[in-house]
């Protein structure tokens, strides 16, 4: 898959290390695809003055960017920018400032440019989910999917070595088992299989974990036997290259994981925890199943590190590399 349109970047939460890692990324590596920042001009200039004084921005209005309009490639220390007013409001206790309206405005502009056919690549910076989503959505993945009325999608955390996908995302552990079904597992794995064929032109080798320790249960209803195993058999009959269910405590051992390039787990930390332990920041978050490419760095705002110039840009570099190639 290759699209020559620009990369739209929504910086995310103003209180984050995004601009620090952004300037580090662009100083470290040159990208061919034009970049459009959709964010507050003042914030951008304050950060660039500290991190990269030579960086240049070219201001654009949303109305200028229409389907078929080609932006010229800029040098590595330049980007286009759509200035978004930083609307803020106080929360209920009138003490803490939040910028939820500002973040929403940035996303809305990006979504409109995608819907208008101008762009098909979106990268969002880290966002404080608890503040921005206010428990209306499980995560930013679900927020973006809902905005495009996409019900079937999958969260992929991946790098060049391995990808993982949790069947359920940001759910409390106590309700995970109630939200797993044969139908859901089949849907998610079909989406991932199609994504790999479309983007990488390959059929993925998929391992599926069980839910319970050692894929065993002392309860009368065993999810591994009653839900997961039938889903795997169904998918094998459809020609999907997958095996399982595997015990989650051993599938990530080197000799086991080298047989697969995707590991599907039943809940968030079951697969994302091991991946981060193995590769730390060297991974990106992709939403498969959308009508465009959406990625984000695989880390949060990390507000405690703002101004320290110690944040690792590797995840953002990998995200930009992915969009630059596809």
Q: Residue 320: pLDDT above 90?
A: yes
Q: Quick one: 15 exposed, middle or buried, by C-beta within 10 A (0-12, 13-18, 19+)?
A: middle
User: Percentage of the chain surpassing pLDDT 70?
Assistant: 95
Model confidence pLDDT, tens digit, residues 182-214 = 999 999 999 999 999 999 999 999 999 999 988
Are 89 and 104 in contact by the 8 Å Cβ rule? The answer is: no
Model confidence pLDDT, tens digit, residues 66-96 = 888 889 888 888 999 999 998 765 555 555 6
| Helix (H) / strand (E) containing 59 | strand 56-59
Q: Which pTM value belongs to this model?
A: 0.92
The phi and psi torsions of 90 (rounded to 5 degrees) equal -90, 150
Residue 188 to residue 194: CA distance in whole angstroms: 10
Model confidence pLDDT, tens digit, residues 246-283 = 999 999 999 999 999 999 999 999 999 999 999 998 99
pLDDT of residue 1: 47
All domains in the chain, ordered by first residue: 1-150 (3.40.718.10), 153-289 (3.40.718.10)
Joined tokens for residue 243: 């095996």
Q: Residue 303: pLDDT above 80?
A: no
Residue 88 to residue 38: CA distance in whole angstroms: 17
């Amino acid at each position: 898959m290759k699209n020559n349109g620009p990369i739209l970047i929504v910086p995310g939460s103003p209180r984050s290390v995004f601009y620090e890692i952004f300037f580090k990324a662009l100083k470290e590596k040159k990208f061919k695809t034009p970049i459009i920042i959709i964010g507050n001009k003042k914030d951008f200039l304050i950060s660039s003055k500290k991190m990269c004084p030579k960086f240049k921005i070219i201001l654009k209005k949303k109305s200028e960017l229409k389907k078929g309009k080609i932006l010229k490639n800029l040098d590595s220390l330049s980007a286009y920018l759509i200035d978004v007013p930083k609307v803020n409001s106080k929360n209920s206790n009138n003490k803490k400032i939040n910028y939820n309206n500002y973040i929403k405005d940035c996303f809305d502009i990006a979504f409109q440019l995608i819907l208008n056919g101008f762009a098909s690549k979106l990268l969002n910076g880290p966002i404080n989910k608890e503040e921005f989503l206010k428990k209306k959505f499980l995560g930013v993945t679900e927020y973006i999917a809902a905005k495009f009325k996409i019900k079937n999608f999958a969260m992929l955390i991946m790098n060049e070595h391995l990808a993982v996908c949790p069947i359920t995302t940001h759910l409390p552990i106590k309700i995970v088992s109630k939200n797993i079904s044969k139908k859901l597992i089949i849907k998610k794995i079909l989406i991932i299989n199609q994504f790999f064929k479309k983007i990488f032109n390959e059929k993925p080798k998929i391992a599926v974990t069980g839910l319970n320790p050692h894929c065993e249960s002392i309860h009368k209803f065993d999810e591994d036997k009653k839900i997961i195993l039938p889903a795997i058999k169904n998918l094998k009959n459809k020609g999907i290259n997958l095996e399982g269910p595997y015990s989650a405590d051993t599938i990530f051992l080197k000799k086991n994981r080298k047989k697969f390039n995707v590991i599907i787990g039943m809940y968030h930390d079951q697969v994302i925890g091991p991946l981060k332990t193995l590769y730390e920041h060297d991974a990106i978050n992709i939403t498969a199943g959308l009508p465009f490419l959406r990625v984000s760095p695989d880390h949060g705002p990390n507000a405690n590190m703002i101004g320290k110039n110690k944040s690792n840009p590797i995840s953002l570099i990998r995200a930009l590399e992915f969009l630059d190639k596809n």
